[in-house]
Amino acid sequence: MSLARQAIPRLLEAVIIPLTLFYTALAAFGLNGALAAVLTWAYGSLAWRRLLGRPMSASMILATVAITVRVALAAWSGSAIVYFLQPELGTICFSMMFLASIWLRRPLVGKLIGEYVRLPQAVMAHERIRRCFVHLTVLWALVLLANATVSIWLLLSATLGTYLLVRPIAVATISVLAFTCSVTLFLRVLRHLDLHPRSSGRPAPIRGAQEGARKVGRRSPGPWR
């Protein structure tokens, strides 16, 4: 419930309201009106936070810069497809970064998990955990690629209204399934590690790692866009 209370306002502010504004303004005022509405919402949100004295994170500022570039390119091209195509191309680039991290022997999923869970060094160095990170990195590279592929296919083959309706549902479904599989696989690997509990009264490395992984499953929705 706490995760939902935190995620729903962010989802409304960053995704649902901008999409609703874009489609409504597009139907009423055309493409330029839709782009102006989205840009007004982005900068209005920053101004409102400033007036209320709320902190503005670096991610919010970067997101505003990104939306400004998207709007500028879409206005220059005169095409709504260009506006929605840009983040999908970015998703494909992220997918390639995941695959490149495997080639560099630094699976990106391992780094992401480390930001949420403090895994003991004995666990991090275990060969089965390292293989698990590789498998999960491949999985999320394919998930990002699948999300981008479905989105681009809908964008080029369906109406804009269908794209705006179907694309979030499809992406959310794929991402939730992948996240559930990831947590299940990670916990399964942790349960089968051949690490022995400590005798000092402290939690064993494997137990502590399992508890941390379960916390990730409760508080993190996964690398959705």
**Per-residue confidence (pLDDT) for residue 197, from 0 to 100:** 46
**Per-residue confidence (pLDDT) for residue 27, from 0 to 100:** 85
Structural tokens at position 172: 């959310």
Tell me if the pTM is above 0.75: no
What are the mean pLDDT values of the chain's consecutive 10-residue runs (225 residues total)? 56 77 87 91 88 79 86 91 91 93 88 70 78 92 95 92 89 91 87 57 48 51 45
**Per-residue confidence (pLDDT) for residue 106, from 0 to 100:** 87
**Per-residue confidence (pLDDT) for residue 46, from 0 to 100:** 87
DSSP code string of 127-171: HHHHHHHHHHHHHHHHHHHHHHHHHHHHHHHS-HHHHHHHHHHHH
**Interatomic CA distance for residues 15 and 17, integer angstroms:** 6
